Structure 1
Amino acid sequence: MRFLVRKLPAIIAASALLVSLSSCAAGPGGIDGCVPSIASGSNAALVTADGTFGNDPKASFPTPLVAAGASQMHVISDGNGNGKRVAPGATTVVQLTIYDGKTGDTIIATNYDNAGALFSAIDSTPAFGAIGQCARVGSRVAAVGTAGDLIGDGAIQQNSLSLAADDTVAIVVDVQSVYLGKANGADQILKAGFPSIVLAPDGRPGFTFPDPKPPTTLAIETLKAGNGAKVEKDDRVVLHYTGVLWDTKKVFDSTWERNAPAMLVATSLKDNPGGLVPGFAKALVGQRVGSQVIAVIPPKDGYPTGQGPSTVPDGSTMVFVFDILGIE
Structure 2
Amino acid sequence: MRKLPAFIAAAGLLISLSACATGPASIDGCTPTFAAGSNAALVSASGLFGNEPKASFPTPVVAADASQVHVISDGNGNGKRVDPGATVVVQITIYDGTSGDAIIATDYEGSGAIFSAIDSTPAFATIAQCARVGSRVAAVGTAGDLIGDSAIQQNGLSLAADDTVVIIVDVQSVYLGKANGADQILQAGFPSIVLAPDGRPGFTFADPTPPTDLKIEQLKAGAGAKVAEGDNVVLHYTGVLWDTQEVFDSTWERNTPAVLPAVSLEDSDGGLVPGFAKALIGKRVGSQVIAVIPPSEGYPAGAAPTSVPDGSTMVFVFDILGIE
TM bucket, shorter chain: over 0.9
Deviation at 1:258, TM superposition (A): 1.0
User: Could you tell me which residue of structure 2 aligns to residue 206 of structure 1?
Assistant: 202
**Structure 2 residue aligned with 1:23:** none
- Residue in structure 1 matched with residue 284 of structure 2 by the alignment: 288
Q: TM-score, normalised by structure 1?
A: 0.91
Please give the alpha-carbon distance, in whole angstroms, between the structure 2 residues aligned to 1:319 and 1:299: 11
Q: Does 1:115 align with 2:96?
A: no
| AA partner of residue 5 (structure 2) | V
Aligned to 1:13: none
- How has the CA–CA distance of structure 1 residues 314 and 92 changed in structure 2, closer, same or farther, with 3 Å as cutoff? same
- Deviation (angstroms), 1:260: 1.0
CA deviations over 1:109-146 (Å, ceiling 9, x no partner): 11111101111111111111110000010000001111
Residue 215 of structure 1 is matched in structure 2 by 211
Residue identity (%): 79
Segments of 5+ residues of structure 1 without an aligned counterpart are: 7-25
SS of 1:252's equivalent in the other structure is strand
- For the pair 1:48 / 2:44, whether they are aligned, the reply is yes
How far 1:68 moved relative to its partner?
Answer: 3.8
User: Which residue among 240, 257, 275 is the counterpart of 2:253?
Assistant: 257
* Residues 283-315 of structure 1: CA deviation (Å, up to 9, x unaligned): 000000000000011111111111111111111
Structure-1 separation of matches of 2:109 and 2:123 = 22
- Give the letter aligned to residue 254 of structure 1: S
Give per-residue Cα distances to partners, 1:93-112, cap 9 Å, x unaligned: 11111111111111111111
Preserved CA contact (<8 Å) 2:181 2:223: yes
Given candidates 171, 175, 191, the residue that maps to 2:171 is: 175
**Pairwise CA RMSD of aligned residues?**
1.3
Q: Pick one of 157, 161, 178 that aligns with 1:161.
A: 157
Hey, what does 1:66 align to over in structure 2? 62
| Per-residue CA distance 1:222-251 (angstroms, 9 max, x = gap) | 000001110000001100000111111111
1:100 & 1:270 partners in 2: Cα distance?
47
* Secondary structure, counterpart of 2:4 in structure 1: coil
Structure 2: how far apart are the matches of 1:28 and 1:135? 14
Shift of 1:32: 2.1
1:131 aligns with 2:127: yes
Indicate yes or no: 2:168 matched with 1:146.
no
The one-letter code matched in structure 2 to 1:133 is: Q
Residue type at the aligned position of 2:68: Q
The AA in structure 2 aligned to 1:292 is Q
Aligned counterparts of 1:273 and 1:266: Cα–Cα separation in 2: 12
C-alpha deviation, 1:44, in angstroms: 0.4
Q: How many residues align?
A: 307
CA contact (8 A) 1:193 1:210 kept: no
Match of 2:4 in 1: 4
TM-score normalised to structure 2 length: 0.92
Bigger Cα displacement from structure 2, 104-113 vs 227-236: 104-113
Aligned counterparts of 1:319 and 1:155: Cα–Cα separation in 2: 30
* Equivalent position of 1:239 in the other structure: 235
Structure 2: segments with no counterpart, 5+ residues: 7-21
Task: Summarize deviations over 1:31-68 as a string: whole Å, max 9, x none.
Answer: 22211011111110111110110010111111112224
Residue 5 of structure 1: CA displacement? 2.1
CA distance in 2, matches of 1:68, 1:121: 22
> How far did 1:27 drift?
4.4
- Tell me how far apart the structure 2 counterparts of residues 173 and 271 of structure 1 sit (CA, whole Å): 37
State the shift of 1:156 in Å.
Answer: 1.1
Instruction: Work out which of the residue numbers 182, 185, 202 in structure 2 matches 1:186.
Output: 182
Looking at structure 2, the residues matched to 288 and 68 of structure 1 have their Cα atoms a distance apart, in angstroms, of 44
